[in-house]
Chain A
Amino acid sequence: MISFQYSRAVDVADAVRQVAASRGAKFVAGGTNLVDLMKMDVEKPPKLIDVTRLPLDKVEEVTGGGLRIGALVRNSDLAYHPAVERRYPMLSSALLAGASQQLRNMATVGGNLMQRTRCAYFYDLATPCNKREPGSGCSAIGGLNRMNAILGTSDACIAVHPSDMCVALAVLEARVRVSGPRGEREIPFADFHRLPGDTPQRDTNLGADELITAIDLPSRGFTANYTYLKIRDRLSYAFALVSVAVGLELEGGKIRTARFALGGVAHKPWRDPEAEAALRGKVANETAFAQAADIVLRDAKGFGHNTFKIDLARKVIVRALSQAARGTPQSQSSKKIA
């Protein structure tokens, strides 16, 4: 780890001021990803601004029936928050599918959004990586790419976004509230994370001088028909090979609204409006679900070791939509997949 300056921000304005004043400075809260990356010399910020003392740790009601989640709310607190458990059970489930309880106790909501990829080559300084060192090349293409992306990839990068929470937030159509030198703004969740394109070094559309202050959840929580189904190499405490968050609204056995997002397959939580539209008005059965899966995966591309993910994703989509339609969401403690 390189030497760095440490300072504490006293309020949001101070945090924004400090980050603008020091080129390359980074905010730190839970530190579960950033400290790890700093140990590996992947991240080398000259200054860390500790934002953990800012008053952004509340979960509040907002007018219109939604919920505002402070950026510093810990992942475990959010997962077990009564309002989240009751009104956004898919989010609670996705949170509990991620990491371990120790890490959930540390990790914040804002930091979860800012997680960087776990692509092994991003961590390995001895190999080229366009995300770590733009222009150096991608070692995962043609390398060991079992955990890498099958959708939305580019010639520059096939990394995946590792978050579970963000997959649920994509389905819930959360809005990200940020503060910067030019004031506050809101970013729709779909626009927050980026595809790699030819700038894989940029994971998000957040400015380097902006601080996430909260996540707003609209009122629609899909409490009756939802699931978060995560398939991984071991039953707990592992990143997703493929995960699927689903929210359905049914009417007399037919689908009125369908939303679903995939994790572990792309540089951002992957939603496909066309696939969701194809489900609208259909009878909720496996035939319809398989058609939707085919639409999502029409342009999927494997890179050798991860090609199995295309077929796996198809099955996980169908299974997750079935779980949601039946009203039998995946349990995150019993690992039996119904």
Chain B
Amino acid sequence: MTASEEADAESRFNHPTRREVVAGGITVPIAMSLTSESMAQSRAGNGVSSSAVSVNLTVNGTRHVLTLDPRSTLLDVLRERLDLTGSKKGCDQGQCGACTVLIDGRRVVSCLTLAVMTEGRSITTIEGLAKDGKLHPLQQAFIDHDAFQCGYCTPGQICSAAGLIAEGKAKTAEEIRELMSGNICRCGAYTNIVAAIQQAMGRS
């Protein structure tokens, strides 16, 4: 181990990365969601509320059977029940696009989608785009063009761009900008995002 590697290792030990913190912290939302589920069930048992529903969700090709409070948004279920934290919660009111996923191949905002209403639909999140260990052309293009700074909006941008390409309505940079306007990037990486999408469009 060289001195600089040693310093790196030490620094990581003393200052865990954000990713490590997030991974460690994941137990908290899971514990919370289990509690709310058991509460929903016990309320149902007491006859106070019978609103909990059983839902079949197909996410990235995998079927999940979940008991959900009908209030659960698809975004919260993805993140807190299925541990798919790629879809981000930005505004939670349909204004930023960070939570964009594909339902039956069409881009939607998962924060305004009630999970119970997606029964039987095929849901694709950012985690489901790479195939056979190979990045989706959009993921590769975003790396090639440095199409992000903080990266928080990126999963939504990429899922939205995948929907855009499937729609086939955007040809020019101007049209890409208009049809990507549902995805806000606070870092302002728009120029590189458009370039990345153009690259992926050329390949797909």
**Residue ranges of A at the interface with B (Cβ–Cβ < 8 Å):** 1, 3-6, 28, 31-32, 35-36, 39, 48, 50, 52, 76, 80, 99-103, 105-106, 235-237, 332-334
Contact = CB atoms under 8 A, between A and B. Distances in A.
Given A105-B108, A237-B182, A31 B49 contact: no
A236 B182 CA distance: 9
Interface in B156-191: 160, 163-164, 167, 169, 172, 174-175, 177-183
Classify the interface of chain B: helix, strand, loop or mixed. Answer: mixed
B112 A31 contact: yes
Given A1-B71, A4-B71, A5-B51, A101 B167 contact: yes
Contacts of A332: 178
Interface of B: 49-51, 53, 69-71, 73, 92-94, 97, 100, 106-109, 112-114, 116-117, 160, 163-164, 167, 169, 172, 174-175, 177-183
Contacts of A48: 70, 114
Contacts of B97: 100, 102
A52 B121 CA distance: 12
Contacts of A105: 106-108, 163
Nearest to A40: B93
B94 A3 contact: no
Contacts, number: 91
B114 A101 contact: no
Nearest to A29: B117
B181 A100 contact: yes
Sorted nearest first, the 5 A-B pairs with minimum C-beta distance are A100-B182, A236-B181, A6-B70, A237-B181, A333-B178
A6 B107 contact: no
14 contacts: A1-B71, A4-B51, A6-B53, A6-B114, A36-B93, A102-B97, A102-B160, A103-B182, A106-B109, A236-B177, A333-B174, A333-B178, A333-B179, A334-B174
Contacts of A50: 116-117
Given A4-B70, A50-B117, A101-B164, A36 B181 contact: no
Contacts of A102: 94, 97, 100, 107-109, 160, 163, 182
Contacts of B51: 3-6
Nearest to B73: A35
Given A35-B114, A100-B183, A237-B181, 19 more contacts: A3-B71, A4-B51, A4-B70, A5-B70, A6-B51, A31-B113, A32-B94, A32-B109, A35-B73, A35-B113, A36-B112, A103-B112, A105-B107, A105-B163, A106-B112, A106-B113, A333-B172, A333-B177, A333-B178
